[in-house]
Amino acid sequence: MQRTYLVIAAGSAIGSCVARRLAADGAALVLAARDPSRVAALAADLGGWVVQADATSFEDVERCARDAAARTGRLDGVLNCAGSILLKPAHLTTADELSQVLTTNLVSAFATLRAAALVMRPTASAVHWLLGPDCAWVTGQVIGVDGGLADLKGRVRQ
């Protein structure tokens, strides 16, 4: 059966790279972006669906995860490719700038984890943080969704 993945921030460089890699492996894709027009061509090229989402919105990310599962009857993975960095000396960084970076990086990651846990809970045993900035699969943090970490060693690459 074809696997289904939701790619959050699919319009980013990392997001489009991981979407192409998953599509090459035969996955069904739901591509989420704050501005859906940024991923329309990618979705057409890969045969995926486009959904609008702000990666920092719990409601948007959960809606997208549920939509992805409803389209194909399953959801095998949710990948958060949203991220931000501020290359600025600390003494010149405002509280608003820092807050924006933290919100983008931390809230989007937690919103993705939360949505994955809610929607994938019946079938998933763990959520893996696996993608590096060079689109190479790397071992990351593993968080149990429902305490079931069976067969974990076979799924984590070292």
Neighbours of 79 (CB within 10 A): 24
Q: Is there a contact between 126 and 152 (Cβ–Cβ < 8 Å)? A: yes
Q: Is there a contact between 27 and 3 (Cβ–Cβ < 8 Å)? A: yes
Residue 127: the pLDDT is 52
Tokens of 136: 């190479």
Residue 141: the pLDDT is 40
Which domains does the chain show, CATH number per domain?
4-125 (3.40.50.720)
Instruction: Give the integer Cα–Cα distance in Å for 123 and 140.
Output: 21
Residue 145: the pLDDT is 40
Residue 122: the pLDDT is 63
pLDDT tens-digit profile of 130-154? 444 555 443 344 344 444 334 333 4
CA 78 vs. chain centroid, Å, equals 4
Q: Which residues pair with 143 in a beta bridge?
A: 127
Residue 123: the pLDDT is 61
Q: Which residues does the chain have with pLDDT short of 50?
A: 125-126, 129-132, 136-158
